[in-house]
Amino acid sequence: MSKLLRPLIGILAAVALSFTLFHSTSVMVYAQTSGLGVDTNIQPSALTAATGGETSLTNLVRTMLNYFLGFLGIVCLAIIIYGGFMYVTAGVNESGADTGKKILTYAAIGVIIILLSFVIVNTLLSAALPGPAK
């Protein structure tokens, strides 16, 4: 991997880990619940005001995850542009062309993983927590 991608991958991994830890701890703070342990109709006025009027926990989590996956899609687009630039400007330098090809391959794999995670997250949220999908 190039020296430019190593810090970027480390930063993305740190963001993904912190988002995962934030998400897992935010669900456990509700003291009184009913049903399966998660009350999806919690409507304190502060929460409603802070989330732009969103009253369903299911839709709030789904929206947050979709924004995060959208951000990762933008990062993958930037990596694809960088890999394409490396490949096109390699000229007769075969190592530059190979580097560009590897970057494009890894970026394509990243896009596939992001799309699969989008489908899996929305499917699991729809199945596990009742509520209308947006």
| pTM for this prediction | 0.54
Q: Is residue 71 part of a domain?
A: yes
Q: Is residue 128 part of a domain?
A: no
pLDDT of 59 over the 80 cut: no
Share of the chain above pLDDT 70, in %: 53
State the residue range of the domain holding 84. 47-121
- Cα(29)–Cα(107) distance, rounded to whole angstroms? 37
Q: Is residue 103 part of a domain?
A: yes
Q: Is residue 96 part of a domain?
A: yes
79 pLDDT band (50/70/90 cuts)?
Answer: very high
Residue 51 has what DSSP assignment? T
Beta carbons of 100 and 86 less than 8 angstroms apart: yes
Q: Is residue 24 part of a domain?
A: no
Predicted local distance difference test score (pLDDT) of residue 69: 85
Q: Is residue 126 part of a domain?
A: no
Q: Is residue 66 part of a domain?
A: yes
Helix 57-88 / helix 5-27 crossing angle, nearest 10 deg = 180
Q: Is residue 112 part of a domain?
A: yes
Which residue's entry shows tokens 């912190």?
18
Number of domains, the chain:
1
